[in-house]
Amino acid sequence: MAEFIQYLINGLSQGGTYALIALGYTMVFGILQLINFAHGEVYMLGAFSGLYTSKLAGPQLSAFFNKIFNGAADQMSTPAAICTAIVIIMVAMVVCALVGFCVERLAYRPLRSSPRINLLITAVGVSLFFQYSGQIIFGSDPKAYPDLFENLESWTFGSDENLLVINPLQVFVFVTAIVLMLILRHIIFHTRLGRAMRAVSFNHDLASLMGIPTDRVIAATFMLGSALAGAAGVMVGMTYPKVEPLMGSLPGLKAFCAAVLGGIGNVTGAVLGSFILGLAEALLSGYGTPTYKDALAFAILIFILLIKPSGLLGVHRTEKV
């Protein structure tokens, strides 16, 4: 039983990071009908900007927060570590939002009126460009993440046989992911920007006629999605303390599969699909064959496209001529 709960916790934590990436995919797809292949690379850049922020300013930041919470700079405490992590995540989010803005402005916007296939090829090109220039700039060897929560002990429950170990970092990742999703939900459903985004995704031309600055709304969508991917990058970097320039492609594709599973273009669906995928992967590697873990997402994708191409929560739209 404890084993099962352990897998559930791992799955939820993994699903949280998938969800943050999948949200960007689903928002961009909803608004442009574009699979933004470069999204996984934005996540990678987020991890790296988090890495360099914590290398450059990490000790100063934690000293600063320790002073606030404990009065002494050299005493580590949990709230200080959490605050440091949050600041690092925010820096990465800002960097990624800028990256998302630049990608949209330089690569996708000039192609807005061209066939979708050209946009897709460009997206693939942008993705490859980030992967390989990342290898040149950061080096292709995996880099270790500084451990912010080093003196934090894991919470253990139960006795020897039913031992349950919860890493506080996993809880932190899960909670942060949920908070970010709630903020996104608020933006989409309760702000002017969100209403504009929904309008543009509903009908681009009509929204433009109603005076909505569609270009600006699309740029904002890219920035929001990229910021979430950046947060996911930092959190994954913290949990699996290794980052490398090619780390983005597989989680990116898996998150896309999760978005399709939930119904692409649907924000709630993306979150649901991601948690299902995270749990399924955790259970497969726990009880089944971990080596097949990487194929699971694609198997789910093909299966869902066969059974219900609109996804779990998606609305089936008939194509009109």
Options 1, 150, 306, 316; binder of other proteins; rule CB under 8 A: 306
Task: Please tell me whether residue 298 binds other proteins under the rule CB under 8 A.
Answer: yes
**Which residues within the stretch 93-132 sit at the binding site for other proteins (CB under 8 A)?**
107, 110-111, 114-118, 120-122, 124-129, 131-132
SS (H, E, C) 197-261: HHHHHHCHHHHHHCCCCHHHHHHHHHHHHHHHHHHHHHHHHHHCCEECCCCCHHHHHHHHHHHHH
Task: Compute the least distance from the CB of residue 270 to other proteins, in Å.
Answer: 15
Is the Cβ of residue 84 or residue 122 nearer to other proteins in the bound state?
122
Query: 136, 151, 160, 205: which one contacts other proteins (CB under 8 A)?
Result: 136
Backbone dihedral angles phi then psi of residue 133, each to the nearest 5 degrees: -70, -30
Is position 292 an interface residue for other proteins (rule: CB under 8 A)? yes
Q: Is 91 in the site for other proteins (CB under 8 A)?
A: no
Q: How far is the CB of 114 from other proteins (least distance, A)?
A: 6
The answer to whether the beta carbons of residues 244 and 143 sit under 8 Å apart is: yes
Q: How many CB atoms sit inside 10 A of residue 76's CB? A: 18
The answer to whether 35 contacts other proteins (rule: CB under 8 A) is: yes
Cβ-based nearer residue to other proteins, 14 or 176: 14
CB 203 → other proteins: shortest distance, Å?
18
- In this chain, which of 3, 33, 78, 315 binds other proteins, going by CB under 8 A? 33
* Beta bridge partner(s), residue 243: 143
